[in-house]
Chains A and B, each alone.
Chain A
């Protein structure tokens, strides 16, 4: 799986959990919370959907690695390809 595909998976999850947000022009390098109205509960939703939909486990100490789409791709792509 490529980093772009992983980013799209994260965007698809955001579309489910924050359906009022426009995700069409997200900047990959910018913190997601600086671009959208996402709170800590939303990030827990992202973690839960990664677990439910893809069997990916994100330990609590790694939550900061989901800050931006780029950091998500860096962190999650090896997990998807493991």
Chain B
């Protein structure tokens, strides 16, 4: 089947170390992390990645009060992506726009807040807010985007644990190829730093990062890594069929040429390197490339002792004969942005197509031998001859794996 080619024409993002792709990229190249300690209800101080974007740029104060943080992040990122795409949005047929946003989870924050609220009223449920249900329905972040922007095409979120950012993009590719929509806003968001449950859950699991210096708490592949830094963030792309993008004279940022999602079918939390390897292989296969064509692998590694090793095993198995495939990771800078991670980390690497530079993996003082991948770019950016193809990994709990293949667009 000859499927239409799908391209990225706009990017909007907020991460702990940048609120635009240029600011984010600049900090990735300069090695600037931004993790801080926050005071978490019931837990005390924990490291977390906090975003500081101008929410009132696209929302009224009332919308901010009524909506959710995930919705606000999604609205900011979607609006920035639209602006970046240079599409004539006011005149665009809003029926033909789809919104597909990945989330790790949704509703924990709002439910925890309400339980805390009614605890002050002796758990009298008359004090439970009527905003609870619209805030906690799973489609909330995508739905808030449609209300804010007047989009009348389809919207939904895609629950895919920490593979959700890639899953949102894959959904957009499929819907564009099926011609269900003509313009898609897709990616992932995370409001997870607002919920103690995620932090406490990781802590109970022995997977919550700790370090005296919050900026060193997230340190994938370092021998002393001890867990995840939970972050908020978002990254939403505008995507179109190549023909449509060319017709309107859009600037094309990248083309999505392949992808795969599969399932470990083995454990609730422990990743399965065999299935991850298969996911990467199938993604590259679907793109029509050879494994050795991949110039850069953006790894998912979250800084947990076990998970990082599992992904490295998978990469070693698949890319052992690929001497010019470089590897990096973004979580040392921004922590783990959960549902946003896949989309956000991809955005940090897309500028490689033009600056031919691989941003480093930071916070590695002593590389874990089990994570010592050939061509892992450590602590300093690396200039290379060219970057034409990127493989973007994103994996999540319950054994959900995703990999995207991106191509530099050459006119």
Residues of A within 8 A of B (CB): 17-21, 37, 41, 44-45, 48, 51-52
Contact = CB atoms under 8 A, between A and B. Distances in A.
B129 A20 contact: no
B130 A48 contact: yes
A39 to B, nearest CB: 10
Contacts of B127: 48, 51-52
B65 A19 contact: yes
Interface in B117-138: 121, 126-127, 129-131
Contacts of A37: 62
A20 B131 contact: no
A17 B62 contact: yes
Nearest to B120: A52
B379 to A, nearest CB: 46
A17 B130 CA distance: 13
A52 B121 CA distance: 9
B66 interface: yes
B61 interface: yes
B366 interface: no
A43 to B, nearest CB: 10
B60 interface: yes
B60 A20 contact: yes
Contact of A19 (B61, B121, B129, B131): B61
13 contacts: A17-B62, A17-B65, A18-B62, A19-B65, A20-B60, A20-B61, A20-B62, A21-B62, A37-B62, A41-B66, A45-B130, A48-B130, A51-B127
Contacts of B131: 41
A51 B126 contact: yes
A52 B129 CA distance: 11
Contacts of B65: 17, 19
A20 B121 CA distance: 29
Contacts of B60: 20
Contacts of B129: 48
Contacts of A19: 61-62, 65
A41 B133 CA distance: 12
A44 B133 CA distance: 14
B385 to A, nearest CB: 53
Contacts of A51: 126-127
Contacts of B66: 41
Contacts of A21: 62
Given A20-B62, A37-B62, A51-B127, 17 more contacts: A17-B62, A17-B65, A18-B62, A19-B61, A19-B65, A20-B60, A20-B61, A21-B62, A41-B66, A41-B130, A41-B131, A45-B130, A48-B127, A48-B129, A48-B130, A51-B126, A52-B127
Contacts of B121: 52
Contacts of A41: 66, 130-131
Contacts of A18: 62
A48 B131 CA distance: 11
Nearest to A44: B130
A73 B227 CA distance: 57
B309 to A, nearest CB: 49
A37 B66 CA distance: 14
A29 to B, nearest CB: 25
A71 B34 CA distance: 52
Interface string B23-64: 000000000000000000000000000000000000011100
A48 B61 CA distance: 19
A51 B126 CA distance: 9
A42 B60 CA distance: 14
